[in-house]
Structure 1
Amino acid sequence: MLGRRICHCSITRSFRVHARGLASSAYTDPTRGKDESVTSTPADITPEQRKNLEGALRVDQAGEIAANWIYHGQHFILRRDRKTGLLIQDMWDQEKKHLAVMDKLQLQHAVRPTLLTDVAKVAGFGLGAVTALMSKEAAMACTEAVETVIGEHYEDQLKELDEMDTKHPSIPLLKDVIREFRDDELEHLDIAVENHSQRAPAHALLSAVVGAGCMVAIELCKRV
C-alpha cells in the first residue's frame, strides 16, 4: 500500500525541497514565466503519447477540482471544530495550489478540460459534507480513501511518463511536479490516519465505496 510509504515520501520530499525547491514553483514564480519548460508542449511525441498526456492532465485537473470541493464540503461542516477545521483548511490550501498549477499545465499543453467539471464540484462537495456530517473520523476516512487512490494514480502516471521518448524540457518538469503532488497527497493520507480515520464506523465499507467511486471518476474524466 502506498500509505505505508508515507514516511519515506515525506523524508524524500523534505530533502528535495531543501535541495532545489519545489518543482511546482516553476509555475508560481513569475521570473520563470518565459521558460520553455512552462510555456510549450513537446512536438516530438507520437499521437498515442499525446493522447496519453492529454488524458493524464485532464484527469489530474479534474481530480484537483474534486479534491478542492471535497475539502470545501468537509470544512463547511467542521470549520467550528478548531483542531479538525484547521487540519482540513491546511490540506485544502495545498489542494488550491495544486489546482492552480494544473490549470496552467492544462493551458500549456492545450488540453481540453473534462466536460464533467460541474459534476466533480457537486459530487466533491457532497462527498465531503456527507462524510463530515457522519463524524470527524468519517471525514478523515474519506480523505484516506481518496488520497490512497490519487497517490496510486500519480504513481502510475510517473511510469507512463518514464516511457515517453522526448527531449522537451516540459516532461521532466511535469514528472517532478507529479512527484511533488503525490507526496503531498500521501502526506494528507498520513494526516487522516493519524487523526483516527480507521475508527470511523464501517471504515472498510466506506473506504471501499469512496475508493471505487474515485477510480470510476478517473476513467470517466480521461474520456469525457
Structure 2
Amino acid sequence: MRSKSVESMIRVDHAGEYAAVCIYHGQGVVFSRTRDADKIQEMQEHERVHFRYFNNLILQRRVRPTLFLPVWHVAGVALGYVTAMMGKKAAMACTAAVEEVICDHYSNQVAQLDDSERDLSDKILQFCAEEREHMETAISCGAEE
C-alpha cells in the first residue's frame, strides 16, 4: 500500500483515539461518583492504549499529526460531558454511535491494507474488537432506549 495512504490512516486513527479518550473523560467527570464510573474508566483505558499505540507510530514513522488535536480535545470532552449531563442513556447512545462509526472505519482500513502492513492490520482488528465491546456495553446500558 502507498506510504501516504498509511500515513493518513495513522494520522486519522491517532486523532480519533485521542478524541475517544476525551469523550470518556467528559463522561467520567459527570459519572465519577456513580456505579457506572468503573465502566467508563475501563473503556477510557482501552482508548488510552489505542492512542498510545498510534502515538508511537506517529513518532516511529515520522507522521505529521493532525493540527486539529486541540479541537478534538475540546469537542471530545464537551461531547462526553454534555451527553452525560443529559443522563446515562444519552451518554451510552453517544458511546454506541461513536463506536459503531469507529468499527466501520477500522474495517474499511483493514480491507485496504496489504501484507506489508500486517502488524498494523492486526492491531487495528484488535482495537476494532475492543471498540465493538464498548458499543455492546453501551447498548446493554440503555443506548437504544
What TM-score, normalized by structure 2, do the two folds share? 0.97
- Structure-to-structure mapping, 1:102-141, within 5 angstroms: 102-141=54-93
Query: What does the per-residue CA deviation read over 1:108-165, in whole Å, with 9 as the maximum and x for residues that have no partner?
Result: 2221000000000000000000000001000000000000000000000001103xx6
* 1:74 counterpart residue number: 27
Query: What does the per-residue CA deviation read over 1:148-206, in whole Å, with 9 as the maximum and x for residues that have no partner?
Result: 000000000001103xx64xxxx11111100000000000000000011111xxxxxxx
Distance across 2 between alignment mates of 1:155 and 1:111: 22
**Offset of residue 70 of structure 1:** 0.1
* 1:194 counterpart residue number: 140
* 2:113 counterpart residue number: 161
Note the residue ranges of structure 2 that are not aligned, 5 or more in a row: none
- Please state whether the residue corresponding to 2:133 is helix, strand or coil: helix
**Offset of residue 106 of structure 1:** 1.1
* 2:4 counterpart residue number: 51
Moved over 4 A (4+): none
* 1:65 counterpart residue number: 18
Distance across 1 between alignment mates of 2:37 and 2:89: 13
What amino acid maps onto 2:33 in structure 1? R
* Number of positions where the alignment pairs a residue of Structure 1 with one of Structure 2: 145
**Offset of residue 86 of structure 1:** 1.1
RMSD, matched Cα: 1.0
Instruction: Pick one of 130, 135, 140 that aligns with 1:184.
Output: 130
Distance across 2 between alignment mates of 1:174 and 1:103: 13
What TM-score, normalized by structure 1, do the two folds share? 0.63
Structure showing greater radius of gyration is 1
Identity of aligned residues (%): 46
What amino acid maps onto 2:58 in structure 1? Q
**Offset of residue 105 of structure 1:** 1.1
